Structure 1
Amino acid sequence: MLFAILAYHEEGAITSMTPEEDDALMGDLMKVHDNINEKNRLGPAARLDLTRSAMTLRGPGEGMITDGPFAETKEQLLGFYVIECDSADAAIDAARRLRRVNTSAVYEIRPIPFYLPGVAVGQE
């Protein structure tokens, strides 16, 4: 089953890092990525740009584009992973490994009921 691991963080904590601190964090996260991917289970992963560059499409018909998401939270969605796991417990374990190196982040784990018509996910 596919799971999304959504990485939330306070943007200010990330943008206040020096380039060296950011490189060190990303290096540590890449080690976790490599470990998770030992069985080729790590799918797309991305660090998103700042929320001030985001746009939201909402409303009827063609909708209207507005600036940003305006969530009333301290943390913003800053990145995501897609990972194939045999169970929710395995996805939780992967998120815990990510958090061990990114201790101030919040990780949301959500199953992905993804399908492509006529194509079974995880099968050739």
Structure 2
Amino acid sequence: MASLSTFRRLNALALFQLFAEERIAAGDPPKGLESAWALKIEVSGATWSMAKSGARPIGDKLARQIERHCGKEAGWLDDEREPAGLTPGEQQFLSFALNTYRQTNSDGRKRLKQLLKSFG
């Protein structure tokens, strides 16, 4: 079962992803979006980086701050939500799994499927 810390991090990442997609659609270059996001939510780049990676949990104060700057009601970050899209890590994993699947024979594909089923 996921923790409050996990919900907050995943929801904050979803808000960042939405922010980044909107900025890129408006013509902004991808470089610098992390810093722009940190400015928007009024934290240092290092604080956002640690929160994003999970190295620093998003506490109550930071959670309410992010919600306020994103126009969300208090407690929004605390709720479990369905992912809006794939995270970069998920995209990387799927790409790796697909390449592995495509580069092996039928026996290898069977073993890969069995391994993934047994892991979960």
Mark the structure with the bigger radius of gyration: 2
Higher helix share: 2
User: Which one scores higher on RCO, CA 8 angstroms, separation ≥ 6?
Assistant: 1
Same fold, judged at TM 0.5 (above): no
Higher strand share: 1
Calculate the TM-score normalised by the size of structure 2. Answer: 0.29
